[in-house]
Amino acid sequence: MCGIAGILYKNDPTDSSVGKALISMLDGCQHRGPDSTGFALYHSPKADLLRLRFFVENGAEGEKTITRIKDKLAEFQAEVVEEERIGSTARFTVHFKGDLQKLAYALEHVAKVVSIGESLDIIKDVGSAHDVDDVYAVDDFHGTHGIGHVRLATESDVAPEASHPFWATGFADIAIVHNGQITNYWKMRRRLEKRGFEFNTDNDSELIAVYLADKLSLGEKLTDALKTSIDDMDGTFSFLVSTKDEIGFAKDHLAAKPMVKFENDELIAIASEEVSLNKLFPGEALITSEPPPGSYGTWQRSI
C-alpha cells in the first residue's frame, strides 16, 4: 500500500544529490502513502568501516538501549568511531572485521536494527518526505544511489519500525522497497527460517530482502535472483532492491502494481508513477517506459 522510487547516477558516482532527488520523487507520490517515508542511501564504502543505525526510544529508555548496543559492539570487538542520536534513531560508525551476520543477529537481540552496511544507511520515520527530511537532513545526503518509499499503513501500526525501506537482516548493504503484497509469505519465510535466517518483522518486504540477499550470498547474480523471485513469490508486487552498486526491479506476472522508468545520460530513475519522475524534470515531457508484467532488470553503477 505505497509508492516507491529509486535513483542511480551514472557519471558522478560518489557525490550526487541522491537525498534531494529522492525527497522530490517521494513528495510526488506521497498520495500513495501519507503515513511514513523512508530512504535507503548509499555512500562510497571506506575500508573496514561499518555504518549502523538503530531505532531507540526517547529519553532514559533510549540511553539504556544505547548502552546495550555499545556493550554488544564491544563484545564483538567493533570499535565505535562516531555516534549520533537523531530523531527516533541512533547512528554509529564502527571499525569491524568479523562476521557481519553474527554481529547483526546479536544486535537484533538487544535493539531494533534499522540497517547495517559499509555503504548503506536507511533513514525512515513517520510523516511525509519533507517531515523526515526536516529531522534527518536527508537533503544534505550526497552519494551514489538510493531507493525510497512512502507508506500507507493498513495491516500494522503507524510506527517508524513499520516503515520501509527494509534492510535484508544480516546481509550488509541490501535494502528493499516494495509496493504490494506477498501472499505466500509464511511458506517462504518458514523455508528461509529452516535454513537459519532470522526475521526482524512480520513484513513481507523484509522477506523479499532476505530472499534476495540469501541468493546473492550464495554467489547468484542479482538479475538471476530477481528472475526466480517472480516465480517464487505469489501475490501482487512491484519492488526495488538496492545493493552497494546496483538497483534492481521486479514486477509480478499480472502487473498489478505500477512502475515507470526513465533513463538519460546522467541517471536512471524508476518510480510507481510518472509524476515522481517529472518532479526531477519539471515542465518536461519525458520519454518513459513501463516494465511489462513478470519483468525484472538491474542497473549497475560503473565504478
Partner 1 sequence: MATIDLAATSVREANELIRNYGAKGEDVDVINPDARHHIGVGLVHDIKVHVQGSAGYFCAGLTDGGRFEIDNNVGWGLADNMLGGSVIVRGNAGAIAAVAIRGADVIVHGNIGSRAGQVMKEGTLLAAGSANFMAGYMMYGGRIIILGESGEKLGQDMTGGNIYVGGKINSLGTDAHQIDLPGDEETSIREFLDRYQVPFTGSFQKVVNAGKKLRYDKIEPRVRNVPFFVASGNSDYWNEKVQEDIHVKSVIGRYRIRGYGATRPLPHLSDIAFKKDISTISADTNVVDKIGLATEIGGRNGGKPISLSMPVMIAPMSYGALSKSTKIALAMASKMSGISENTGEGGMMDKQREVAGQLIYQCLSGRLGWNIHDMQRADGLEIYISQGAKPGLGGQLMAKKVTKEIARIRGIPEGIDLRSPSRHPDVLGADDLVIKIEEFREATGYRVPVSVKLGAGRIRDDIKIAWKDGFDFVELDGLQGSTGAAGNEVLEFVGIPTLSAIQESMDSLDEVGGRGDMPIVLMGGIKDGVDAAKAIALGAHAVAVGTSAIIAGGCIACLQCHVGQCVVGIATQDPEHEKRYDTPAEALHIHKYLESMRWQIAAITDALGHKNVHELGRDDLVALTPEAAEITRLPYAPEYRQSAQPRIREAG
- The residues annotated with a catalytic role in the active site are 2
Binding span for partner 1 by CB under 8 A among 114-122, 161-169, 174-182, 199-207: 174-182
**Contact status: 230 vs partner 1 (CB under 8 A):** no
**Contact status: 25 vs partner 1 (CB under 8 A):** no
Q: Which of 88, 169, 181, 243 binds partner 1 (CB under 8 A)?
A: 181
Q: What is the total count of residues that contact partner 1 (CB under 8 A)?
A: 39
Residues 6+ positions from 36 with CB-CB distance below 8 Å: 124, 125, 126, 127, 132, 150, 151, 153, 158, 160, 162, 163, 164
CB 188 within 8 A of CB 207: yes
Q: State the minimum distance, in angstroms, from the CB of residue 159 to partner 1.
A: 12
**Contact status: 236 vs partner 1 (CB under 8 A):** yes
Rounded distance between C-alpha atoms, residue 131 and residue 123, angstroms: 12
CB 144 within 8 A of CB 138: no
**Contact status: 81 vs partner 1 (CB under 8 A):** no
Q: Which of 44, 223, 288, 300 binds partner 1 (CB under 8 A)?
A: 288
**Contact status: 7 vs partner 1 (CB under 8 A):** no
Across the beta sheet with 120-126, the strand order is 120-126, 36-42, 145-151, 2-9, 267-271, 260-263, 288-289
Binding span for partner 1 by CB under 8 A among 107-115, 122-130, 199-207, 283-291: 283-291
**Contact status: 284 vs partner 1 (CB under 8 A):** yes
**Contact status: 275 vs partner 1 (CB under 8 A):** yes
Q: State the minimum distance, in angstroms, from the CB of residue 25 to partner 1.
A: 12
- Reading phi first (left if > 0) and then psi (alpha if -120 to 50, else beta), residue 93 is in beta
Residue 242 burial (10 A CB sphere; 0-12, 13-18, 19+)? buried
Q: Which of 6, 143, 165, 180 binds partner 1 (CB under 8 A)?
A: 180
Q: State the minimum distance, in angstroms, from the CB of residue 204 to partner 1.
A: 13
Q: Tell me whether residue 107 or residue 260 sits nearer to partner 1 (CB atom).
A: 260
CA distances from 259 to 133, 270, 275 (A): 24, 7, 11
**Contact status: 82 vs partner 1 (CB under 8 A):** no
Rounded distance between C-alpha atoms, residue 48 and residue 97, angstroms: 6
**Contact status: 155 vs partner 1 (CB under 8 A):** yes
Q: Tell me whether residue 81 or residue 254 sits nearer to partner 1 (CB atom).
A: 254
Q: Which of 12, 14, 15, 31 binds partner 1 (CB under 8 A)?
A: 31
Residues 6+ positions from 59 with CB-CB distance below 8 Å: none
**Contact status: 77 vs partner 1 (CB under 8 A):** no
List 5's β-bridge partners, or say none. Answer: 148, 271
Residues that bind partner 1 (CB under 8 A): 1-3, 31-33, 35, 152-155, 179-181, 236, 254-258, 260, 272-275, 277-279, 282-290, 292-293
